[in-house]
Every structure is written in structure tokens, then in C-alpha cells.
């Protein structure tokens, strides 16, 4: 299983998404949608072994976490607008402590970014923090040490990053910093590159 | 310079783009927009060394080619809807034999997919065809043979591919097949992965 946990610092926390302005009034909801698209879509197929979390810290009701489960997703298309419509449906529900299903494979809950990460850590999963100044991903996943049958969790931030406090937290729990590129990339491109590195390590 | 030439078999060839339905009635215009986003956008920066061509073969007036020049682009954002608005403006113009500028860095012309490729070939550029069953990109671009100061052109298709005739044409002009992954990927993800491979080869 490959999981991504994405911190969306400004993305709104209710269903008042303006589909004509995903970047602005919805707080970079366009980026959340592109991350979902990168996490799951293959040519004529879905990545069923992937789970993607987006944790929103925008107004009016932060935090709200949305979980997308690849093996359960139905009728989702890779374009931003259609993904935004599914997110809107999820955010229209009141988030509780426990995950509540909105549409097939899409869940919502009132959970902190940190707490979701801690849950994974306590389940014994390997936690990696995606950061430009980390260890090259190809040194971590390759033919000798590939991702098959492993439970791996990647943490990443939006245009603002995850912030110092959460960086410190990741350091404290022993998350390894992993780099994908010498350049600073958009989060959705990072997800595409992580998948590619794991695909190549696994099947080469 | 890195150039991408994308064949959009179904994308429409006039400005009647329905922004509420980029995938359907506009003929996978969502995919064209995501390709533009992947071709140019870095975190807080644009890839100025990149040119992206989208050649549309949908109704009512095929072919129409749109050219995006990284070093000249202005006011473009990475979300699909805002890119679609720029494409709409370009497609509202009547395409002629020669490139005509629509907005800053975005041009339109009545040109065939093949003819654009042939122009590049005649200018002495290296032509690569992105295909699952090609040679691994890491064997072609790496520390010893990186892309710096080279003029490289990558050809890729949409959900349908580029078709047998154009594949034959690429073979005839000696284009090398390059593979990015053991899996069949979406075109926009291919662009992200090509950039990453070149970035790593160049700066490592
Ligand atoms: C647009 S970047 C964040 C930029 C923000 N200004 C910062 O300094 O953190 C979005 C996220 O993508 C990931 N990222 C970006 N470039 C990366 C790279 N080269 N390697 C690994 N992760 C990267 C990081 O997790 C980052 O938080
Ligand atoms: C969705 S795929 C095309 C699928 C189409 N059914 C076909 O068989 O050609 C879109 C384009 O991305 C490129 N592509 C997809 N997977 C690739 C891979 N693993 N390596 C290199 N290029 C790839 C190819 O240029 C392809 O035309």
C-alpha cells in the first residue's frame, strides 16, 4: 500500500466550493484536485493500491481531512472539475471523529494532519517526508529494496509547505526526508514522480 | 530547449469550449490543459526553456496547432480552467499557415502534427517518441549524456495514441522510442517524468 498525506493549508473546510475559482476563493482546491488525479489515474486504469489524504486548514472549520481509497473509487474522472465536485459532496457532510463515507471510496473526518501521520506510524508503516533537500528516492527504492508488499507513507505540503512545527514533528518520529529533484516542484508533480520511482523499482 | 509535440485526436478546433465540460464536448481539453500545466509549472517559477505544441484533430476545422512558449508566457496559472480560457482565446482566432500570436507566448496556426515534427527534424533537433516499449529514458539522458545545451523534441499522444500512420512516419525519420515506465501513463504525467529525468541528469 502506498499512502500520501497532503497538507492543504488554505483549502476550505465546507462545501462552498466555487467551481469557477478553485485556486482563489476555495484556497488552492485546484492543487488538491490535481494531487488526487496524480495519485490514482493510469491510462484506462486506477491505482488500486493507493490511498490519498488531503487535510484542509482553510476557513471556516479547520481541520477537515478527506480520504480517497483507490480500491473503492467509482465514477471519478481525472479532470479537476469532476474531482472538485466529489470533494464538494464530501465537505457538505459534517465531519466527525470517525471517518464517514461520502461517495464510493471518499471519506471525511475531523482529524489533524499530525494525528493521521501518527496513526500510520503506530501501525508500523514507514513514514517519508518529501523534501527537496532529502535523500534521492532512487537510493531508497530500487531493484534491491523495492516497495513491493511494503506499507509506505509519503508526507507532502502545498505551495506553502507543511510548516516548521510539523517538520519538527516528522523529525521527532524519525521520518526520512526523500528528495525527487534538484528543483522545487508542485505537489501533484511530486506524486507522479514518487509513483514512477516505485513502479520502476518494482518491475524493472 | 526542450519541446513537446502532443497529438490531441479529439480536441476541438474552434473556441466553443464548454468550461463545465472540458473532457466531453471539448474532446479531452482537460488533458491538453494538464499537459500545459506539467510542461511549464514549477513551484513559484516557469520552465522558460520549454515549448509545448498541442495539435488538435477534433471538429470542426482540423488540424489546428497551438504553440506555448515558456519564455514568453504571462499571467497563466496551473489550473485547468484558466489554461482552457487561454486556449479558448487562441482557438477564437482563424488559424493561418504562419503562427499568429493570441496572448503572450501562445500562438495558433493551421499545421499538421507531422509537419511540425518535420520542421524540427530539418532544424537538426533530436526527435524522441515517448512509448511504453522504448529504451529507458535513464539510459539516454544521464550524467554522461545530459540534455544541457541540446535541442530535444518529445512526441506524445493522448488517450488514443498517435496512430499507426504517424508511428510509421516517426520510424521513417529515425525517431528513437523512449520509455518512462513499465506502465501505460497519462500524457501529462509523461511530461512531468521527462522533465524530472532531464533535471536529474543535468544537475546531479
Ligand atoms: C510547492 S512545494 C512547497 C514550497 C514551499 N514554499 C516550501 O518551501 O516548503 C510543495 C511540496 O512538494 C514537495 N516537494 C517539492 N519539491 C520537492 C523535491 N524536489 N523533492 C521532494 N519533495 C518536493 C514538498 O513536500 C513540498 O512541501
Ligand atoms: C494514455 S497513453 C496512450 C494510450 C493509447 N491507448 C495507446 O496505446 O497508444 C498517452 C501517451 O503517453 C505516452 N506514454 C504513455 N505511457 C508511456 C510510457 N510508459 N513511456 C513512455 N511514454 C508513454 C505515449 O506517447 C502515449 O501516446
Residue A157's contacts (CB-CB under 8 Å, 6 or more residues apart) are A6, A7, A9, A163, A187
Q: Is A44 on the interface with B (CB under 8 A)?
A: yes
Q: pLDDT (tens digit, 9 = 90+) per residue, B10-38? A: 999 999 999 999 999 999 999 999 999 99
Residue A115 has what pLDDT? Answer: 98
Closest residue in chain A to residue B184, using alpha carbons only: A43
**Is the peptide bond preceding residue B63 cis, with omega within 30 degrees of 0?**
yes
Q: pLDDT (tens digit, 9 = 90+) per residue, A85-98? A: 999 999 999 999 99
Q: Residue B40 pLDDT > 80, yes or no?
A: yes
Residue pair A104/A67 in contact by the 8 Å Cβ criterion: no
Assign B171 to helix, strand or coil: helix
Q: Is A43 on the interface with B (CB under 8 A)?
A: yes
Chain A residues in contact with B38 by the CB 8 A cut-off are 189
Q: pLDDT (tens digit, 9 = 90+) per residue, A168-186? A: 999 999 999 999 999 999 9
**A200 contacts B181? CB cut-off 8 A:** yes
Q: Is B167 on the interface with A (CB under 8 A)?
A: no
Residue A150 has what pLDDT? Answer: 87
- To the nearest whole Å, the CA of A58 is away from the closest chain B CA by 19
Q: pLDDT (tens digit, 9 = 90+) per residue, B47-88? A: 999 999 999 999 999 999 999 999 999 999 999 999 999 999
Mean pLDDT value across residues A117-127: 97
- HSE-CB at B133 with a 13 A cutoff on CA atoms is 1
Residue B147 has what pLDDT? Answer: 77
Q: pLDDT (tens digit, 9 = 90+) per residue, A36-92? A: 999 999 999 999 999 999 999 999 999 999 999 999 999 999 999 999 999 999 999
Would you tell me how many other CB atoms lie within 10 Å of the CB of residue A71? 12
Residue B146 has what pLDDT? Answer: 78
Q: pLDDT (tens digit, 9 = 90+) per residue, B144-191? A: 887 777 899 999 999 999 999 999 999 999 999 999 999 999 999 999
Residue A81 has what pLDDT? Answer: 98
**A182 contacts B203? CB cut-off 8 A:** yes
Q: Where are the alpha helices (DSSP H) in chain A?
A: 29-40, 80-91, 113-122, 137-140, 164-172, 187-203
Residue B28 has what pLDDT? Answer: 98
Which atom of ligand 2 is the closest one to the Cα of B184? Answer: 16
Name the pTM for this structure: 0.98
Domains by residue range for chain A, with CATH: 2-109 (3.40.1280.10), 129-203 (3.40.1280.10)
Chain A residues in contact with B46 by the CB 8 A cut-off are none
Which 8-state DSSP code applies to residue B175?
Answer: P
**Residue B161 backbone dihedrals phi, psi, to 5 degrees:** 95, -170
Residue B71 has what pLDDT? Answer: 98
Residue with cell 514568453: B72
**A79 contacts B23? CB cut-off 8 A:** yes
Per-residue H/E/C for A56-110:
ECCCCCCCEEEEEECCCCCCCCCCHHHHHHHHHHHHCCCCCCCCEEEECCEEEEC
Residue B154 has what pLDDT? Answer: 98
Q: Residue A204 pLDDT > 80, yes or no?
A: no
Chain B residues in contact with A200 by the CB 8 A cut-off are 181-182
Q: Residue A203 pLDDT > 90, yes or no?
A: no
**A189 contacts B180? CB cut-off 8 A:** no
Chain B residues in contact with A191 by the CB 8 A cut-off are none
Question: β-strand B2-8 against A152-157: which pairing, if any?
Answer: unpaired
Which atom of ligand 1 is the closest one to the Cα of B44? Answer: 1
Query: B189 CB less than 6 Å from ligand 2?
Result: no
**A80 contacts B186? CB cut-off 8 A:** no
Residue A129 has what pLDDT? Answer: 98
Instruction: Select the residue of A41, A181, A189 nearest B186 (Cβ to Cβ).
Output: A41
Lookup: cell for B194? 521527462
Q: Residue A147 pLDDT > 80, yes or no?
A: no
Q: Is B196 on the interface with A (CB under 8 A)?
A: yes
Mean pLDDT value across residues B103-107: 98
**A204 contacts B182? CB cut-off 8 A:** yes
Residue A109 has what pLDDT? Answer: 98
Query: B186 CB less than 6 Å from ligand 2?
Result: yes
Percent of chain B with pLDDT over 90: 94
Instruction: Select the residue of B82, B182, B196 nearest A180 (Cβ to Cβ).
Output: B196
Residue pair A170/A126 in contact by the 8 Å Cβ criterion: no
Residue A202 has what pLDDT? Answer: 86
In chain B, the largest separation of any two C-alpha atoms, in whole Å, equals 48
* B143: confidence class by pLDDT, cuts 50, 70, 90: confident
Q: Residue B203 pLDDT > 70, yes or no?
A: no
Q: Residue B199 pLDDT > 60, yes or no?
A: yes
Chain A residues in contact with B31 by the CB 8 A cut-off are 78
| Inter-residue long-range contacts of B46-49, CB under 8 Å, 24+ positions, other chains counted | B46/B70, B46/B73, B47/B2, B47/B195, B49/B1, B49/B2
- To the nearest whole Å, the CA of B46 is away from the closest chain A CA by 11
Amino acid at each position: 500500500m502506498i499512502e500520501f498525506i497532503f497538507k492543504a493549508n488554505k483549502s476550505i473546510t465546507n462545501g462552498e466550493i466555487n467551481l469557477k475559482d478553485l485556486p482563489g476563493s476555495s484556497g488552492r482546491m485546484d492543487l488538491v484536485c490535481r494531487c488526487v488525479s496524480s495519485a490514482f489515474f493510469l491510462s484506462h486504469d486506477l491505482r488500486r493500491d493507493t490511498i490519498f489524504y488531503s487535510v484542509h486548514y482553510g476557513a471556516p472549520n479547520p481541520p477537515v481531512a478527506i480520504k480517497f481509497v483507490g480500491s473503492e473509487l467509482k465514477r471519478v474522472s481525472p479532470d479537476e472539475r469532476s474531482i472538485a465536485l466529489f470533494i464538494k459532496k464530501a465537505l457538505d457532510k459534517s465531519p466527525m471523529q470517525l471517518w464517514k463515507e461520502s461517495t464510493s471510496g471518499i471519506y471525511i473526518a475531523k482529524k489533524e494532519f499530525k494525528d493521521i501521520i501518527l496513526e500510520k506510524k503506530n501501525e508500523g508503516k514507514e513514514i517519508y517526508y518529501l523534501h527537496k533537500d532529502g535523500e534521492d528516492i532512487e537510493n531508497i527504492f530500487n531493484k534491491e529494496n523495492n516497495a513491493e508488499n511494503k506499507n509506505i507513507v509519503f508526507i507532502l505540503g502545498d505551495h506553502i509547505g507543511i510548516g516548521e512545527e510539523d517538520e519538527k514533528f516528522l523529525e521527532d518520529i524519525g521520518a526520512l526526508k526523500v528528495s525527487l529533484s534538484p528543483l522545487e516542484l508542485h505537489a501533484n508533480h511530486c506524486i507522479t514522480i514518487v509513483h514512477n520511482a516505485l513502479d520502476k523499482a518494482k518491475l524493472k
